[in-house]
Amino acid sequence: MSITIDTKHGVIREEEFLGLWSQIQDSEKALKGKTGAGADYLGWLDYPVSYDKGEFQRIEKAASFIRSKCEAFIIIGIGGSYLGSKAMIDALSPFFANERDEVQPKIYFAGQNISGKYHDDLIRLVKDKDVMINVISKSGTTTEPAIAFRLFKNLLEEKYGAEGARDRIYVTTDAKKGALKELAMAQGYETFVIPDDVGGRYSVHTAVGLLPIAVAGFDIKDFMKGAKDQMEETDGAMDMTDPCYRYAAARNILYRKGKTMEIMVNYQPEMAMFSEWWKQLFGESEGKDGKGLFPVSVNNSTDLHSLGQIVQEGRRNMFETILVFDEVDRDTIIPTASEDLDGLDYIAGSGMNHVNNKAFLGTLMAHVDGNVPNLVLTIPELSAYMLGRLVYFFERACGISGYLMGVNPFDQPGVESYKRNMFALLGKPGYEDLARELEGKK
């Protein structure tokens, strides 16, 4: 039940991997010894074994209560406060989950954008349903989720009264400080902790991800066990055959050869949001000091009909990392037809998964022939356990890879630039000088 990697299509010689072994070891020592840049944010590293077991039980209890009481559960957050849980829920849920009567509660997300139309439509959709919310924010002052929380807090208080709303609001925030923590204490909301030493993009295995995933009906014990097993497997690695080390090394070797863009490729549409989580993880971690691979994603075969051309024959500055699953739990058989007008009789009786697999293999061969190196990660099955492993796999690889690139993979100073400008343009007190400066740039 391990993740494996095939680098034979990556156009990398074995001696290149071996040449990075000492740097991989140094990166691992810096991570485990907490001596590298950003060492204050390495709580995720051993979280699969060091997590608060008492809080975990409270999460399970709260999730069970929520599932028994509400029709619509709204998760409010942005960035790492929502991407991980949405990725896991989308990957594990049946397609069209919110259109299925048997799926309860319906899961919705808010505060991940500033669209007035989106939030108006969501309010209209849920206002007559039994609603509960989980607001996720370290500070409580991040603009997008703060606006959404105001909206839905007002909705709950108008619908249930202040007392009734209190039991329908769950807060995931800092353990001791911040505006949201103060409000939660004053109002008596049930709270869960975002650990001080875990950054948002590394927080899927904390309450940030666990409560939403559990409310959606998935086994968070399996999810945590997957992370633990992956952690222990990587901890026990002795050489460059380890898939996590090999992936981190391969992407750095290709980066040093001028491949500045990494494309995450899925052939299972339920994994589209997982790619979004992966993009934040690597984009925020490595994109600084003028360095970093630009992370993008495609969902094939859909995107072969839109982006396939540029991958095949565009600039040769990219490589692909493909996620492949050994087992897919269901299939659809292609029927026969009385007349073969569409020319499909040659695959009649085959499953669509078989065709999808051949599309993957054919595309891989074409892209490698077109000088686009491919790395193939194979996952035994799509389950909570394997997603727990996969999340930790990428987190660990990201930490190693960032150190190999010579950056701090645990901060994100550039994220603040747009916020300062936005605050000034909105007229937030304290930003008057910047507002005048920006006015002159219009």
Active site residues: 284, 419
Do 103 and 94 contact (CB within 8 A), yes or no? Answer: yes
In one-letter notation, the amino acid at residue 374 is N
Q: Are strands 190-193 and 169-173 parallel, antiparallel or unpaired?
A: parallel
Crossing angle of helices 83-92 and 207-215, rounded to 10° = 30
Q: Are strands 4-6 and 374-381 parallel, antiparallel or unpaired?
A: antiparallel
Three-state SS sequence of the chain: CCCEEECCCCCCCHHHHHHCHHHHHHHHHHHHHCCCCCHHHCCCCCHHHHCCHHHHHHHHHHHHHHHHHCCEEEEECCHHHCHHHHHHHHHHCCCCHHHCCCCCCEEEEECCCCCHHHHHHHHHHHCCCCEEEEEECCCCCCHHHHHHHHHHHHHHHHHHHHHHHHCCEEEEECCCCCHHHHHHHHHCCEEEECCCCCCHHHCCCCHHHHHHHHHCCCCHHHHHHHHHHHHHHHHCCCCCCCHHHHHHHHHHHHHHCCCCEEEEEECCHHHHHHHHHHHHHHHHHHCCCCCCCEEEEEECCHHHHCCHHHHHHCCCCEEEEEEEEEECCCCCECCCCCCCCCCCHHHCCCEHHHHHHHHHHHHHHHHHHCCCCEEEEEEEECCHHHHHHHHHHHHHHHHHHHHHHCCCCCCCHHHHHHHHHHHHHHCCCCCHHHHHHHHCCC
Query: Of 342, 176, 328, 309, whose CA–CA distance to 267 is shortest?
Result: 328
C-alpha 192: how far from its chain's center? Answer: 20
Three-state SS sequence of 257-311: CCCCEEEEEECCHHHHHHHHHHHHHHHHHHCCCCCCCEEEEEECCHHHHCCHHHH
